[in-house]
Amino acid sequence: MEVFSPDKYWPLGSTIQKELTDLSDNNHYRHFGLISANPLTGHTVIIYRNGEKHVGSGDYGSICIRHSTDGGTTWGNEDEIYSESANSRDIRFGGGGYASNERLFVFFSTYNPDISPAPTPPDSYWVAMKYLYSDDDADTWTLGDDDLDHEIYPETNTIFNPYGHIIDVGNNTLYQTWFGGIPVQDSLSIYRMYLYKSTDGGSSFTEVIPTNDTRQPWGEPSMVNLGGGCCLILARMNDDINHFRQFKSEDNCANWHDQGATSFESGAGSVGAPPFLSFINYEGVGIVACYYTMRNTNPRLLKVVFGLAKDLLENGTSGWNNNTRVEIYNYPDGITMSGYQSFFLPKNQYKGIGITFKETASNSIAYPVIIFTKITGTGTSMHDVLTTLGL
Please name each of the domains of the chain with its CATH number: 6-10+25-388 (2.120.10.10)
Rounded Cα–Cα distance for residues 81 and 65 (Å): 7
In the predicted model, is pLDDT for residue 339 greater than 60?
yes
Q: Which tens digit of pLDDT belongs to each residue from 153-197?
A: 777 898 899 999 999 999 999 999 999 998 776 678 899 999 999
pLDDT of residue 127: 92
In the predicted model, is pLDDT for residue 377 greater than 80?
no
pLDDT of residue 346: 76
Nearest to 32 by CA among 45, 43, 44, 46: 46
pLDDT of residue 207: 92
Higher pLDDT, residue 267 or 261: 261
Q: Which tens digit of pLDDT belongs to each residue from 12-68?
A: 444 445 667 778 766 789 999 999 999 888 899 999 999 998 888 999 999 999 999
In the predicted model, is pLDDT for residue 348 greater than 80?
no
pLDDT of residue 13: 43
In the predicted model, is pLDDT for residue 233 greater than 90?
yes
pLDDT band at 239 (very low <50, low <70, confident <90, very high): confident
In the predicted model, is pLDDT for residue 268 greater than 60?
no
In the predicted model, is pLDDT for residue 6 greater than 70?
no
Rounded Cα–Cα distance for residues 83 and 61 (Å): 7
pLDDT band at 236 (very low <50, low <70, confident <90, very high): very high
What pTM value is reported for the model? 0.93
DSSP 45-70: EEEEEEESSSS-TT---EEEEEEESS
pLDDT of residue 12: 45
Higher pLDDT, residue 23 or 321: 321
pLDDT of residue 272: 75
pLDDT of residue 25: 67
Strands (E), 123-217: 126-134, 142-143, 159-162, 164-165, 167-170, 173-185, 188-198, 207-210
Pure H helices in the chain: 6-9, 309-315, 382-388
In the predicted model, is pLDDT for residue 344 greater than 60?
yes
**What mean pLDDT is predicted for residues 282-302?**
87
**What mean pLDDT is predicted for residues 278-300?**
88
Q: Which tens digit of pLDDT belongs to each residue from 296-313?
A: 777 888 888 999 999 999
Helix (H) or strand (E) run with residue 96 in it: strand 90-98
% of the chain exceeding 90 in pLDDT: 55
How confident is the prediction for the chain on average, in pLDDT?
87
Rounded Cα–Cα distance for residues 290 and 265 (Å): 12
Decide: 104 and 201 in contact? Cβ < 8 Å.
Answer: no
Higher pLDDT, residue 369 or 2: 369
Higher pLDDT, residue 145 or 266: 145
pLDDT of residue 198: 97
At 235 the three-state DSSP class reads strand
Higher pLDDT, residue 381 or 28: 28
pLDDT of residue 322: 92
Q: Which tens digit of pLDDT belongs to each residue from 113-130?
A: 998 766 555 556 899 999
pLDDT band at 216 (very low <50, low <70, confident <90, very high): very high
